[in-house]
Amino acid sequence: MSLYTDKVMDHFEHPRNVGVIEDADGVGEVGNPVCGDIMKMYLKVEDDKIVDVKFKTFGCGSAIATSSMATELIKGKSLDEALELTNKAVVDALDGLPARKIHCSVLAEDAIKAALVDYYTRSGREMPESLVGFEPRED
Amino acid sequence: MRVYADNAATTYLSKTARDKLIQCLDEFNGNPNSLHSDGQRTQEALDEARAIVAGCINAARPNEIYFTSGGSEADNQALLSAARGLKAKGKKHLITLNIEHHAILHTMRKLEGEGFEVTYLAPQSNGIVDVKDVEDAIRDDTALVSIMFANNEMGAIQPIPEIGAICKARKVLFHTDSVQAAAHLPIDVQAMNIDMLSMSGHKFHGPKGVGILYARNGIKLVNVIEGGAQERGKRAGTVNVPGIAAMAVALKEGCDNMEENMNKVRALRDRLIEGLRDIPYSQLNGDPVKRLPGNVNWSFEGVEGESLLLHLDMYGIECSSGSACTSESLDPSHVLLGMGVPIEAAHGSLRFSLDIDNTEEQIDYIIEKVHQVVELYRGMSPYWEDLLTGKREHCIPEYWNK
């Protein structure tokens, strides 16, 4: 069996939603260069809906694929739906990841959560309970 | 275009070795321990292989050559033999480098568990150990110095003759893991005062699963595998004569053509180095001159090695990386970190290991595609963005070696 599934390789070779949103409503960044992964997510929110999402990632093939898949899973979804995104959902959508790459999916989930925290902070709206005291797990 | 540039991981089987392997499978497939004609014919093929190997490294006698399952077994046996053999004489100290192969490092850890003390010397920033550091580390109770001939990841060649001379003068055993050097660099165990040396067949176009331990006569080997009188009682198990015979001819072919091969591969290596040096914030790892003829190890800031490797593979270029993501652990290459390469630069490293079948056209293709993928991944890297805007500091100068 190859290291990565076809879905992972597809998202690595053709990553979706790469880039920056200049007038983003929320930006989140997790990871650091010492660990070898950094993910940065940009959200555009209208009427409680994520109308656009972009990412930039420094990292391995699975870091890029999980970023890409995570953005696909929340694009067009409501804020509440985005809040519920788990790393497991990202892994499942990619048909699995090798055990030692699971941390990439955790990073992707946390990057989205960090962007949502930034959105609620900036907009002055009440922070959802699940985001209160949020700390990225991989730093 | 397909470009195989991972010859330090393994080489293809040469035609000479393949022909020998098949001939032996057909004609010398007896058990060399059998007394009947089939066994004895096979024994002769084994003797011939032993004599060839001895000649290639200028061993004094063929019976100083022991065949093993590979380089790792040879490394294990060399270290365990020196340490356990000299323990009774009060020797309890071993010296090695922190950039050795894990076959050495993990065996050293095992010996630490048995009560030995190990000094792990760090090389200089070019990946080469200072000979004086080796000399200073030797103590009255030092049993062994084990220092690799050339590094598998970044290619630096260690000062083996100088270390051999010091060990001889201080009456300390000297082992060298020459898995990457055999058939690629000249080796003379007598002139270089090498007491033990390890080699692996598949690193020089021989088959996998066979290796060599040279041990000078007078060194008492400790068995790693028990159970029979093969290899002068030092390595049990029915001998893989076809594999060994094929390895021996591959080694000889490499040694016979060494000068010509070295010149050709070095020229390709230097062409690749020249072609990559205009990429800003990137650097060659390891000494630019005292390095294996085919090794180019390069770090690119702001990008991660595994993604570069996977994308190059899509273009047909096969290489390796020292990034954490390509290892079994969460840390990047212990070799790059051990010689002082910053961890961020170690994450963004690629290793190309070239060989005689690579061409200038392939090198130019690698250069073109590396430029492309580095630019691509820097373009999507928030880390690179931070370096450009000054939010984070560079750890590599803008232009290497300028």
Structure tokens at B319: 């290489």
Q: CA A62 to CA A42: how far, in whole Å? A: 19
Q: CA B359 to CA A45: how far, in whole Å? A: 53
Phi, psi of B19 (to 5 degrees): -60, -40
Interface test with B, best of A29, A32, A60 (most B CBs within 10 A): A60
Q: Are B385 and A39 in contact (CB under 8 A)?
A: no
- 3-state secondary structure labels for all residues of A122-134: HHCCCCCHHHCCC
Chain A hits for B343, CB-CB cut-off 8 Å, are: 33-34
Model pLDDT, residue B331: 82
Q: Are B270 and B365 in contact (CB under 8 A)?
A: no
B304-328 pLDDT tens trace: 999 999 999 999 999 999 887 766 6
- Composition of chain B by helix, strand, coil, percent to 5: 45, 15, 40
Of A40-49, B97-106, B152-161, B327-336, the least confident: B327-336
Q: Mark whether A35 is an active-site residue.
A: yes
For tokens 């010398």, the residue is: B28
Q: CA A16 to CA A66: how far, in whole Å? A: 10
Percent of chain B with pLDDT over 70: 99
Phi, psi of B50 (to 5 degrees): -65, -40
Interface test with A, best of B347, B372, B377, B392 (most A CBs within 10 A): B347
Side-chain-facing half-sphere of B134: CA atoms under 13 Å: 30
Confidence check: pLDDT of B242 > 90: yes
Over residues B122-139, mean pLDDT: 98
| B383 to A64: CB separation less than 8 angstroms, yes or no | no
Give the CA dihedral B306, B312, B317, B320, nearest 10 degrees: -10
Q: CB under 8 Å, gap of 24 or more: what pairs does B267-275 form?
A: B268/B294, B268/B354, B268/B358, B268/B359, B268/B360, B268/B363, B269/B293, B269/B294, B269/B295, B269/B296, B269/B354, B271/B360, B271/B363, B271/B364, B272/B296, B272/B352, B272/B354, B272/B363, B272/B366, B272/B367, B275/B363, B275/B364, B275/B366, B275/B367
B168-202 pLDDT tens trace: 999 999 999 999 999 999 999 999 999 999 999 99
Model pLDDT, residue B400: 79
Over residues B112-125, mean pLDDT: 98
Model pLDDT, residue A3: 87
Burial class (CB in 10 A: 0-12, 13-18, 19+), B239: buried
Q: Are B156 and B162 in contact (CB under 8 A)?
A: no
Domains of chain A: 6-123 (3.90.1010.10)
For tokens 């096969």, the residue is: B318
Q: How many residues does chain A have?
A: 139
Q: CB under 8 Å, gap of 24 or more: what pairs does B133-137 form?
A: B134/B95, B134/B163, B134/B166, B135/B166, B135/B170, B137/B95
pLDDT confidence band for B401 (50 / 70 / 90): confident
| B304 to A15: CB separation less than 8 angstroms, yes or no | no
| B381 to A12: CB separation less than 8 angstroms, yes or no | no
| Nearest-Cα residue of chain B relative to residue A16 | B380
Domains of chain B: 15-256 (3.40.640.10), 258-389 (3.90.1150.10)
Structure tokens at B229: 């009188």
Q: Tell me which amino acid residue B205 is.
A: H
* pTM of the predicted structure, to 2 decimals: 0.95
Query: What does the mean pLDDT of chain B come to?
Result: 96
Model pLDDT, residue B261: 98
Model pLDDT, residue A138: 66
Q: CA B133 to CA B215: how far, in whole Å? A: 25
Give the Å distances, CA to CA, from A11 to A15, A21, A62, A91, A97: 5, 20, 9, 12, 13
DSSP codes, A94-125 = TT---GGGHHHHHHHHHHHHHHHHHHHHHHTP
B310 Cβ neighbours under 8 A, 6+ residues apart: A12, A61
Q: CA B357 to CA B257: how far, in whole Å? A: 13
| Nearest-Cα residue of chain B relative to residue A14 | B311
Model pLDDT, residue B402: 63
Percent of chain B with pLDDT over 90: 96
Over residues B62-66, mean pLDDT: 98
B318-365 pLDDT tens trace: 999 988 776 666 689 999 999 999 999 999 999 999 999 999 999 999
Give every residue of chain A whose pLDDT is below 70, as ranges. Answer: 1, 138-139
Helices B305-314 and A61-74, interaxial angle, to 10°?
90
* Of B306, B343, B382, Cβ closest to residue A60: B306
ipTM: 0.95
Helix (H, G, I), strand (E, B) or coil at B122: coil
A51-80 pLDDT tens trace: 999 999 999 999 999 999 999 999 999 999
Q: Report yes or no: B322 at the A interface, CB cutoff 8 Å.
A: no
Q: CA B135 to CA B269: how far, in whole Å? A: 33
Helices B102-113 and B71-87, interaxial angle, to 10°?
30
Structure tokens at B85: 């053999």
Vertex B61, ends B57 and B63: CA angle to 5°?
105
Over residues B293-299, mean pLDDT: 98
Structure tokens at B173: 């055993």
Model pLDDT, residue B328: 64
Q: In this structure, what DSSP letter does residue B286 have?
A: S
Confidence check: pLDDT of B61 > 70: yes
